[in-house]
A and B are shown apart, each in its own frame.
Chain A
Amino acid sequence: MAGSPIPLTAFEDRLLAEVPDTDLAELLRSRGLPGRRTETWKWSDLRGALRDVRERSRVYASQAEAPISLGGATVLTLKNGIPQAPHGVEPKPVVKGGEKVGSTYVVEDGLVVSFYDHGRDAEDETLPGEELSALAALRPLMSVSVLPGFTHKIVLRRLSDGEGTHGDNVFVTVGEGARATLIETHEITGSPFVNSRTELELDAKSVCERYIVQPAAPGAVLVHSSVLRLDEAKDEETVKLKQMTLALGAQLARHETRLTHLGESEAKIDALYRLSDSLHTDITSHITFEGEDGVTDQLVKGIGDGRSRGVFQGKFLVQRGAQRTDAQMAHHALLLSKGAQINAKPELEIYADDVECAHGNTAGALDTDALFYMRQRGVPEDEAHSLLIDAFGGEVLDRVEDETVREQLAALFGGAA
């Protein structure tokens, strides 16, 4: 794209001072952070939300109660982006070229967690639109390997506070034939800017349930990029991923998922958002079908109240030769108040002819006929409202297989009214 470099904001100036001189820095220097003038961020003005200088976040000093608590789960914690060493496990050094580059912990049988001093190589190429993910990837890496036989749920808590800025960089692999349940939370107090990243790789024959839970954080700016890779089928067993995001808004919150189907594999990329006051949530997904027989089934639903703004951007890219792709996308939104708004862009880009791809998108108010019926049957108006809203959100929650998780998510969803 043509055009001369734009004047940078104070925030960007400070940010760039800390970014190594690579094409990532060049991208940021020429265009600034993505914002309303960036096609893929037009409804989430990150640049506008981050004009002023922010210091690096200080040591985490708040007390937070976990939004999800699961008995017997293994809990891993990051505080203001810094991974916390697991209790009672001795670290072993990770050595590369004779130099210690990190520490590794065998937390339990089948679960290995490693902390590295550095993130990815800054020289790696950055694609436009992936600047935030690339920035987070520069942070020290926390790597989690799940091996076959490991049966506990893993809760990855990201605790943030203050008004500074920090990022984190987590890499999870689910090994061949392994099964994992991963619950990631964003627990934010105060008004920091958090740039978070999860890379998730599912090896052949593995199965993963992943939940991303973000309680409301009215002052915070959050970008969470997820990069997912599903391996091809092996011995006629396909990789399966079920992901569900429950997002309850922030000053600006973007949950972005990039998924690549290398071949035959199945994914559910669901999300549910509920917003009040002037909260914002952006659910963006970019799903690429590189090989044949990829299946994605996506259901996203959202509710906007007050003066909130909900954004859904979904994209299916079916590459040439990715025959027999089956990709279904649906986004449905409810607007409860006059000031709320919903923006949606469900996109298909298709280069293969033997595919089944569809998307549906609706937006509207609560069904007045149903409300009328319930009131006629003696249900008070408030109750009738909540019943309809619960039923609306319930469609996404019902797709959560684990009962304990589903109940807790439903409670969080209900509590967001």
Chain B
Amino acid sequence: MSETQYKDGIDAETVERVQELDTYKYGFTTDIESVKAPKGLNEDTVRFISAKKEEPEWLLEWRLEAFKRWQQMEEPTWANVAYPAIDYQDHYYYAEPKAGAKYESIDDVPEEILADFKKLGIPLREAEVLLGVEGAAESAAAARNTPKVAVDAVFDSVSVATTFQKELQKAGVIFMSISEAVREHPELVRKYLGTVVPTTDNYFATLNSAVFSDGTFVYVPKGVRCPMELSTYFRINEANTGQFERTLIVADEGAYVSYLEGCTAPMRDENQLHAAVVELVTLDDAEIKYSTVQNWYPGDKDGKGGIYNFVTKRADCRGARSKVSWTQVETGSAVTWKYPSCILRGDDSQGEFYSIAITNNHQQADTGTKMVHLGKNTRSRIISKGISAGKSDQTYRGLVSIHGKADGARNFTQCDSLLIGGDCGAHTVPYVEDKSNSAILEHEATTSKLSEEQLFYAQSRGLDEEQAVALLVNGFVKDVLQELPMEFAVEAQKLIEVSLEGSVG
């Protein structure tokens, strides 16, 4: 990209920012001494983590039981991804920055970490202008209108800072790391933990249950509309370290919360493991909007390094008229295995899944959703846009299941795939199970390439080929971008451009 393309009136910061986007810019490492659990995984590792977090006995038992079960399980092979066997004994399962897990005040957080998050665009000092994700400031108008975002920052295995806790407390919203929540609100954690994704759920969720390190806990009480967006930023820094975050969000009757999640990791030649579990619970009339921009290090252009992202995300719409909306932009990770799902248990409950997944170079992604309709008049909507480029492979895998009692259930599914270049693959594997004679299910899928006429037109108007591709791809994913909170949408658009870097020409 040459400078001449920037016209008058666009400030220097924007130009700089766009130039930065040329490569994976979050690949730096932060030098900070850390305390790690001994390498490998056995019962002692589980006890070590639990002791580090000063957990009550019941939680240790819960972890140990999960560990016992995990040892008898086999790693799933059904996903359309291939990677060398993971040596689970060759990872560290816990790493925390030296000098303690949680800092009393923001002033105690080591400068290196603050600087690291600042570099990532996540200022942790409340005094600073708080924006969820870097990039939003590009538009002055947007900056003025951007609401405050409370951030929980997770660095390797620990949460290092949570902002705006006091302000949230005034509204009755509990927003803290899950380790803190275990100590401060054990009754709430115990009531909901593992009730959506049980410890027996699947290989990676069971592993997570045994060794989960940190994550976020949110409880929005009855009738409260959370006054600001909540956000967690996950950062893997240590080498050879797995991150096993556990997030639990509960929206009580009539509550509403919008939650954002972002993730990055340094560029390393070896693969790193990230096995998270996210559980959402909505009671009557509650709503959770969960947005993710997943930008873990995808590996280099030859497929070396990158994060293995094996994630179980599930929402239980327990209450009548409750709603969960998942929106994800997946551009990172070497291998992705992720199916954010909704159990639509409450009558008239609603589930939504909006997804953009982009794979380039040697990335592999097997992602989709499950919508399980149990209650009457439950509704779900799935919009998935997959873009494959380079030598990457991508699969949409989804289940829509209508149980016998789900009278009047409705589902609409659309999955579109776009292939850029002849060396990639795009696959669609939807499962539909219908046991209700009053349900209506619609599913459509298309696979195509970028239209040559449109590319030609964009180029004849002065865009170069890469810009033209980015423009068309942005149009292709527009339905999903619209669902993202504004700050994320700007970031996501840029990410799309970066992810497709080098895919044409």
A345 touches B434 (CB 8 A): no
Q: Which of A333, A340, A357 neighbours the largest number of chain B CB atoms within 10 Å of its CB? A: A357
CA distance A344 to B443 in the complex (A): 11
Q: Which of A320, A336, A339, A342 neighbours the largest number of chain B CB atoms within 10 Å of its CB? A: A342
Stretch among A79-87, A113-121, A220-228, A346-354 lining the B interface: A346-354
Select which of A353, A354, A363, A365 is within 8 A of B432 by beta carbon.
A363
| B409 CB to nearest chain A CB (Å) | 10
B433 touches A357 (CB 8 A): no
Collect the chain A residues with CB atoms within 8 Å of residue B448's CB: 355-357
Judge whether B188 is part of the interface by a CB distance below 8 angstroms: no
Select which of B77, B421, B434, B437 is within 8 A of A353 by beta carbon.
B421
CA distance A18 to B449 in the complex (A): 51
> Which residues of B, 356-391, contact A by the 8 Å Cβ criterion?
none
| A296 CB to nearest chain B CB (Å) | 14
* A309 (CB) vs chain B CBs: closest residue: B435
* B422 (CB) vs chain A CBs: closest residue: A353
Assess A345 versus B437: contact at CB under 8 Å? Given A321-B422, A350-B425, A360-B444.
no
A363 touches B422 (CB 8 A): no
Collect the chain B residues with CB atoms within 8 Å of residue A352's CB: 419, 422
Judge whether B181 is part of the interface by a CB distance below 8 angstroms: no
B433 touches A347 (CB 8 A): no
B440 touches A345 (CB 8 A): no
CA distance A356 to B418 in the complex (A): 11
Assess A354 versus B449: contact at CB under 8 Å? Given A2-B74, A347-B429, A364-B439.
yes
Judge whether A335 is part of the interface by a CB distance below 8 angstroms: yes
Number of A-B contacts (CB under 8 A): 117
**10 tightest A-B CB contacts, nearest first:** A353-B419, A335-B437, A361-B443, A344-B432, A364-B440, A348-B428, A357-B447, A363-B434, A341-B435, A363-B441
Judge whether A73 is part of the interface by a CB distance below 8 angstroms: no
CA distance A361 to B404 in the complex (A): 19
CA distance A337 to B420 in the complex (A): 45
CA distance A359 to B428 in the complex (A): 10
* B442 (CB) vs chain A CBs: closest residue: A362
Judge whether B58 is part of the interface by a CB distance below 8 angstroms: no
> Which residues of B, 448-479, contact A by the 8 Å Cβ criterion?
448-449
- Mask for A353-379, Cβ within 8 A of B = 1, else 0? 111111111111100000000000000
B77 touches A1 (CB 8 A): yes
Collect the chain A residues with CB atoms within 8 Å of residue B441's CB: 361-364
Assess A350 versus B419: contact at CB under 8 Å? Given A358-B447, A364-B440.
yes
CA distance A3 to B434 in the complex (A): 31
Judge whether B62 is part of the interface by a CB distance below 8 angstroms: no
Collect the chain B residues with CB atoms within 8 Å of residue A336's CB: 437
Collect the chain B residues with CB atoms within 8 Å of residue A354's CB: 422, 449
A342 touches B446 (CB 8 A): no
11 contacts between A and B (CB under 8 A): A1-B77, A335-B437, A338-B404, A347-B430, A348-B427, A353-B419, A353-B421, A358-B447, A361-B441, A364-B441, A365-B437
A349 touches B427 (CB 8 A): yes
Interface size class of A (residues with CB under 8 A): 35 or more
Judge whether B431 is part of the interface by a CB distance below 8 angstroms: yes
| B122 CB to nearest chain A CB (Å) | 37
> Which residues of A, 165-187, contact B by the 8 Å Cβ criterion?
none
* B441 (CB) vs chain A CBs: closest residue: A363
* A352 (CB) vs chain B CBs: closest residue: B422
A362 touches B422 (CB 8 A): no
A358 touches B444 (CB 8 A): yes
Assess A353 versus B420: contact at CB under 8 Å? Given A345-B430, A361-B441, A363-B434.
yes
> Which residues of A, 294-337, contact B by the 8 Å Cβ criterion?
320-321, 323, 333, 335-337
Select which of A320, A342, A349, A357 is within 8 A of B422 by beta carbon.
A320
Collect the chain B residues with CB atoms within 8 Å of residue A341's CB: 433-435
Judge whether A39 is part of the interface by a CB distance below 8 angstroms: yes
Judge whether B115 is part of the interface by a CB distance below 8 angstroms: no
- Known pairs A342-B434, A350-B425; list 9 more (Cβ under 8 Å): A344-B431, A344-B434, A347-B428, A350-B427, A354-B449, A359-B445, A361-B441, A363-B432, A363-B434
Judge whether A343 is part of the interface by a CB distance below 8 angstroms: yes
| B367 CB to nearest chain A CB (Å) | 15
Select which of A321, A323, A350, A365 is within 8 A of B447 by beta carbon.
A350
* B77 (CB) vs chain A CBs: closest residue: A1
Collect the chain A residues with CB atoms within 8 Å of residue B420's CB: 353
B434 touches A335 (CB 8 A): yes
Judge whether B426 is part of the interface by a CB distance below 8 angstroms: yes
CA distance A342 to B74 in the complex (A): 31
B432 touches A345 (CB 8 A): yes
CA distance A357 to B425 in the complex (A): 13
| B205 CB to nearest chain A CB (Å) | 20
A358 touches B417 (CB 8 A): no
CA distance A93 to B436 in the complex (A): 58
Select which of A333, A351, A357, A365 is within 8 A of B446 by beta carbon.
A357
Collect the chain A residues with CB atoms within 8 Å of residue B447's CB: 348, 350, 355-358
Collect the chain A residues with CB atoms within 8 Å of residue B78's CB: 39
